[in-house]
Structure 1
Amino acid sequence: MTDTLGWRKKFGVIAPSTNTIVEPDFHTMAVRGVTSHMSRIHIRDRDLSSNEKMMHLLTQIGDEILFAIDRVMTAGIDYLIVATSAETFWEGIEGNRAFVRRLEDYTDLKVASGASACQAALEAFKVNKIGVITPYQPVVNEMIRRFFSDIGIEVVRLKELRCPTAISIAEVSEDDLRDHLQELDGDDVDCIVQVCTNLSMLRLADEAERWLGKPVIAINAATWWYALRHNDIQDRVYGCGRLLREF
């Protein structure tokens, strides 16, 4: 028997319980016959105001992630999307590979991570000098720099917003993000990458590509694109950036 709505694929999605952006973003990018099913990683302490607090949040995710996976697996999903960014960049490319491998071994499913998606997107655009916008504290941002360095990408500039809580990430306005994009831009930057699935950049990235004249990769768009293409689903999605429209 085939699922009535998810007749092509049923994607399981795990995200922190504080995340209010990735679920509506994925619905915005939906294609016929592919459904996404959210399972939330319980976050008890939302404080991100220091490196230590940021690490505590990552510990919470590590402690809870398998429980979230167990819940979404009961829906009979075909594929797993990890809709939380920081963990996937940890310890560079080898850390991401180990993270993905652990979840694939646990679920016996293929897994999309934000770091894998960003790597594939940058390869598609054939760029190697980027600006990065991140809401995280320096401890995570160093890991993001390390990951991109590992895959041969130079981070020319990085804008760290240092959002004080997990909730406040979703409250960063498009006006502020537009200013940050312009600050990151320059002739020495081929592409701008936004990380963190709770930072709302889907619509703005599509707009910014027109006035910056270069790719702007929103991580939610990259992760959804990667999941579709990883499953041989070639549908084009419009209004969410060049990646989903052209590749």
Structure 2
Amino acid sequence: MEPFKPLPATPVRLGFVIPERNVACETEFPQFLPDGVTAHFSRLPREGAALTQESLIRMMDSVEHQSRLLGGIDARIILYACTSGSFLGADDALDTIAEKIATASGVAAVTTTRAVLDALAALQARTVFLISPYPDDIHAAEIAFLEKAGHPVPGNATFGCASSELIRDINSRDVEALALSHRSAIRDCDAVFLSCTNLRSMDRIAALEADLARPVISSNSATLWRAMRGAGLTPRDIGAGRLFGLDLAGADPSGRARGGWGLAG
């Protein structure tokens, strides 16, 4: 399979706006980046560590300022790397946040939630087994979002974390063990989705796909894949799941999807 190749003679900088207590993106992304491609981060303040819908939605208040900082380094694309922060709130939050970032920074932008929908489309996966670290109300809101977006969730599991610090304490083998404990339910799904950009799991995705015989994506794998596609990099197996061997399906690489797999109805 052809390796990723940056566009000629120009370093490729990928920008990511992340929640202030997120430590997983900065840990996972550099491990999988090809030579000549770098990841750069800006943080969104959020009041307190407790995971509440209100506090996650309010992170948007500073997104324009924080993304403008990434525009100053000539980032090729900016990803709003927070799953819950881009599916909570209004139905069109996953795209309106990206539009705010693009307007403020002058750089094409995509949210993690849009990246996940793009990834499911590329994998031709409809039904999803969802694993998240979220408290019950946010976990339920994510199931409702996915189903409204045309992706039924026949099975699910959550670590039920009440705060960002508790998510940080989960390691990738914990995520793998939880997924494998639901092996029989996963057989009834097209794909497994490991939600939350602060949940480490990218190093276990390839092994999970082999064990479960299903494609597996995480918020971080979908976010990094979408950033690479939006930056014009070509498909390559990087050891983080079959997703990275795929290109976008029916989408503008520098913007939102074209028809058929956004929010339903």
User: Is TM > 0.5 for Structure 1 vs Structure 2?
Assistant: yes
Matches of 1:234 and 1:8, distance apart in 2: 15
Alignment TM-score, normalising by the size of structure 2: 0.81
Contact 1:41–1:67, Cα closer than 8 Å, also in 2: no
User: Do residues 204 (structure 1) and 207 (structure 2) align?
Assistant: no
Contact 1:17–1:40, Cα closer than 8 Å, also in 2: yes
Matches of 1:137 and 1:7, distance apart in 2: 43
User: Do residues 84 (structure 1) and 87 (structure 2) align?
Assistant: no
Matches of 1:73 and 1:223, distance apart in 2: 18
Write the letter of the residue equivalent to 1:28: Q
Matches of 2:182 and 2:134, distance apart in 1: 16
Q: Which residue of 1 aligns with 2:6?
A: none
Higher share of residues assigned helix: 1
Q: Which residue of 2 aligns with 1:232?
A: 232
Shift of 1:8: 4.2
User: Do residues 129 (structure 1) and 127 (structure 2) align?
Assistant: yes
Write the letter of the residue equivalent to 1:43: R
Contact 1:92–1:143, Cα closer than 8 Å, also in 2: no
Q: How do 1:55-94 residues align onto structure 2 when only pairs under 5 Å count?
A: 55-91=53-89, 94=92
Matches of 2:29 and 2:138, distance apart in 1: 24
Shift of 1:36: 1.4
Runs of 4+ deviating beyond 6 Å: none
Shift of 1:243: 0.7
Q: Which residue of 2 aligns with 1:174?
A: 172
User: Do residues 159 (structure 1) and 162 (structure 2) align?
Assistant: no
Write the letter of the residue equivalent to 1:32: D
Contact 2:53–2:88, Cα closer than 8 Å, also in 1: no
Higher alpha-carbon deviation: 26-35 or 93-102: 93-102
Matches of 1:38 and 1:72, distance apart in 2: 8
Shift of 1:101: 2.2
Write the letter of the residue equivalent to 1:70: R
Higher alpha-carbon deviation: 15-24 or 95-104: 95-104
Matches of 2:39 and 2:19, distance apart in 1: 15
Aligned partner of 2:40 among 37, 42, 46: 37
Q: Which residue of 1 aligns with 2:259?
A: none
Contact 1:91–1:147, Cα closer than 8 Å, also in 2: no
Q: Which residue of 2 aligns with 1:3?
A: none
Secondary structure of the residue that 1:227 maps to in structure 2? helix
Q: Which residue of 1 aligns with 2:106?
A: 108
Contact 2:64–2:100, Cα closer than 8 Å, also in 1: no
Q: Which residue of 2 aligns with 1:12?
A: 15
Once the two structures are superposed, what CA deviation does each residue of 1:133-155 show, in whole Å capped at 9, x if it has no partner? 11112332233223322331111
Matches of 1:8 and 1:79, distance apart in 2: 13
Matches of 1:91 and 1:68, distance apart in 2: 20
Shift of 1:190: 1.7
Matches of 2:56 and 2:11, distance apart in 1: 33
Matches of 2:96 and 2:58, distance apart in 1: 19
How many pairs align? 237
Matches of 1:73 and 1:107, distance apart in 2: 5
CA 1:166 to 1:125, structure 2 compared with 1: closer, same or farther past 3 Å? same
Matches of 1:58 and 1:67, distance apart in 2: 17
Shift of 1:60: 4.6
The percentage of aligned residue pairs carrying the same residue is: 22
Gaps of 5+ in 1: 1-5, 49-53
